[in-house]
């Protein structure tokens, strides 16, 4: 009996197209799963999950629940951030024996701020095939509904938990012109909003995408100056999973840059770097940290 005929979902009309597709053995299938709404899973993902010999997953309990909802039952292999290297060895041995293995995370696309990257790297290093199945991604979902017009985005992921480390890290992003995308935990969302407001211009637009695709989904856009108060206005806004999008910096003006460099050079001739950057910030209205970095470059 062929894999297609034995599949428990092969009777769906649209899946007749799978007869024209191949699902090679000795292959790791990286499968995106829903980030909230279970019906967001793709037909292709369901088909592959019904064919594989086993599923490597971040949390076997969560994946078992997901599989059960579709009537699928497969051996589950724990593959989380604390055992990725050991799990990779197990998976490689099974793949070398000709098995098909699916890799999933608890939600969304594996290896994107979730376990999986080390496993994929090890499987590739072993000369085995990796085949990705696209699907749900919190980053792309939030971007599509943000209304922030930009051809580029910069995925930051989770910010440092400690305040000083977070402040220092954000200082390095001042000149990024792409839309910046952060993940944040609910208990730190207010700290995140306050840190962003302290690090960037108050007029920059920020988008809070909370509980995407779930029952209490909320997407709110406002200037950074209003962000903290919006969160404080409703206790429910400090609950759930967050994607935070921040408008990028305005593209640099070459003429303005040239004038800023001229001012810095004049000041550096008389003052230490820190003082020159501080005075240049007052004169130009630009961020002191960015001017400090530029002053160091000019001094060299």
Class level of CATH domain 14-136: alpha beta
Q: What is residue 41's DSSP assignment?
A: S
- Residue 7: name the closest of 49, 55, 40 by CA: 49
Strand duo 242-246 + 205-210: pairing: antiparallel
Write out the two tokens for 246: 């921040």
**Tokens of residue 160, six digits:** 């440092």
Asked if residue 197 has pLDDT above 70, the reply is yes
pTM: 0.77
The tens digit of pLDDT for each residue in 83-98 reads 988 999 999 999 999 9
CATH superfamily of the domain spanning 139-246:
Tetrapyrrole methylase, C-terminal domain (3.30.950.10)
**pLDDT tens digits for range 144-181:** 999 999 989 999 999 999 999 999 999 999 889 999 99
The kind and range of the H/E element at 26 are none
Specify the range with the lowest mean pLDDT, choosing from 120-129, 245-254, 288-297. 245-254
Q: Per-residue pLDDT for 250 more than 90?
A: no
């Amino acid at each position: 009996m062929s894999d297609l005929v034995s599949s428990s979902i092969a009777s769906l009309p649209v899946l007749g197209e799978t007869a024209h597709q191949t699902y090679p053995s000795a292959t790791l299938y990286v499968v995106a799963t829903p980030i909230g709404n279970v019906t967001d899973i793709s037909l292709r993902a369901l088909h592959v999950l019904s064919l594989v010999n086993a599923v490597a997953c971040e949390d076997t309990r969560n994946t078992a629940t997901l599989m059960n909802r579709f009537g699928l039952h497969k051996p589950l292999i724990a593959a989380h951030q604390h055992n990725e290297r050991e799990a990779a060895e197990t998976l490689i041995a099974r793949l070398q024996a000709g098995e098909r293995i699916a890799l999933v995370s608890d939600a969304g696309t594996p290896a994107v701020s979730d376990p999986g990257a080390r496993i994929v790297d090890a499987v590739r290093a072993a000369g085995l095939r990796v085949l990705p199945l696209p699907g749900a991604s919190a980053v792309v979902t939030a971007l599509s509904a943000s209304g922030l017009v930009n051809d580029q985005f910069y995925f930051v992921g989770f910010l440092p938990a400690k305040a000083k480390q977070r402040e220092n890290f954000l200082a390095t992003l001042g000149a990024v012109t792409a839309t910046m995308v952060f993940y944040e935990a609910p208990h730190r969302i207010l700290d995140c909003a306050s840190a962003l407001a302290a690090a960037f211009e108050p007029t920059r637009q920020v988008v809070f995408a909370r509980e995407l695709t779930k029952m209490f989904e909320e997407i709110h856009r406002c200037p950074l100056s209003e962000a903290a108060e919006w969160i404080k206005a409703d206790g429910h806004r400090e609950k759930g999973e967050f994607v935070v999008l921040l408008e990028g910096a305005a593209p640099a003006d070459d003429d303005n840059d040239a004038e800023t460099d001229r001012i810095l050079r004049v000041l550096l001739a008389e003052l230490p770097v820190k003082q020159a950057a501080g005075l240049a910030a007052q004169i130009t209205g630009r961020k002191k940290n960015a001017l400090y970095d530029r002053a160091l470059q000019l001094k060299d």
